[in-house]
Amino acid sequence: ATPTALLVGTGRGAQLGILIKGPEVLESTRRVDTVVLDKTGTVTTGRMSLTSVHVADGVDEAEALRLAGALEDASEHPIARAIAVGAEARTGELPTVDDFRNEEGIGVQGIVEGHKVQVGRWDLPLDPSLTAAKQAAERAGRTAVAVAWDGSVRAVLVVADTVKPTSAEAVAQLKSLGLKPILLTGDNASVARAVAAEVGIDDVIAEVLPAGKVDVVAQLQRRGQVVAMVGDGVNDAAALAKADLGLAMGTGTDVAIEASDLTLVRADLRATVDAIRLSRKTLSTIR
């Protein structure tokens, strides 16, 4: 490909809302056959809200909300924002936290009101009175967040996210270009399947730790697949860098954007399709 044609392609990309790191990026885009999509913030809006609160027998709902809300107030994760805002609206000012720790892809922990509190998907026993609420939420494609203190899960907070209105169309277009979409997420498998079904993705890889996303990409590459990865989070950065083509949502974190070859300004998945079409077209006019 001539440098001039690639530069023209780069300019056209900017018009489509696709920022391209360098003209050579269009070359690798052409060979992509697999598109790995992060769920939260990529296929979904990532704008979550707290929809319900379930407590174990004998547990005070306001206490559960205060403890969870206080911890999540210190985190930038979309789930954390929903919980902090929802808890403050329901209970008032949130208490302070000591020894705060954020475990990427798992959740948060710290000392609140004298208790060691953990929020997220930590490996802790669930009070049996909460099992049904957790399962019902997950079947409905919602995220059930466990709130544990003093060693066991005493409340489940249900947080709902919504699929972006353009995601299903983007997935259909990717398939029509002969590309295989795969949903990759740290979230629970039933939530992931519900979202995948809503947008038309058949392949789901769920409950993957942040460090594991890059391994998934590497494994696909070892099988000979040429992989594009689309993501937005800190937890996606390594996978975005490893992929043959990394695409970051413009609304995503700086690390994700830095790790990527392309940035989708409008955070609309259809721009992924535009990028692949553009590179195919740019490169075919050159030949």
Sites of contact with ligand ADP (CB under 6 A): 38-40, 72, 75, 77, 79-80, 105-108, 119-121, 143, 145, 185-187, 210, 233, 235
Tell me the closest approach of the beta carbon of residue 252 to Mg ion, in angstroms.
Answer: 8
Shorter beta-carbon distance to ligand ADP: residue 160 or 286: 160
**Residue number closest to ligand ADP, CB atom:** 186
Q: CA angle, 223 as apex, 263 and 239 as ends, to 5°?
A: 30
To which residue do tokens 């005070």 refer? 60
Sign of CA dihedral 198, 47, 118, 147: negative
In angstroms, what is the minimal distance from the CB of 266 to Mg ion? Answer: 17
Q: Which residues bind Mg ion (CB under 5 A)?
A: 38, 40-41, 232-233
The listed partner (ligand ADP, Mg ion, none) that binds 23, CB under 5 to 8 Å by sort, is none
- Type of residue found at 89: A
* Residue 146 DSSP symbol: E
* 184 in Cβ contact with 195 (< 8 Å): no
Among this protein's residues, is 99 annotated catalytic?
no
Query: Do 13 and 20 contact (CB within 8 A), yes or no?
Result: yes
Q: Would you say 23 or 78 has its CB closer to ligand ADP?
A: 78
List the structure tokens of 169: 């169309």
Looking at the Cβ atoms of 23 and 186, the one nearer to ligand ADP is 186
Nearer to Mg ion, 63 or 261 (CB): 261
Measured from the CB of residue 138, what is the shortest distance to Mg ion in angstroms? 18
Sheet holding 203-205, edge to edge: 18-20, 262-264, 245-249, 227-231, 34-38, 180-184, 203-205
Residues that are catalytic: 38
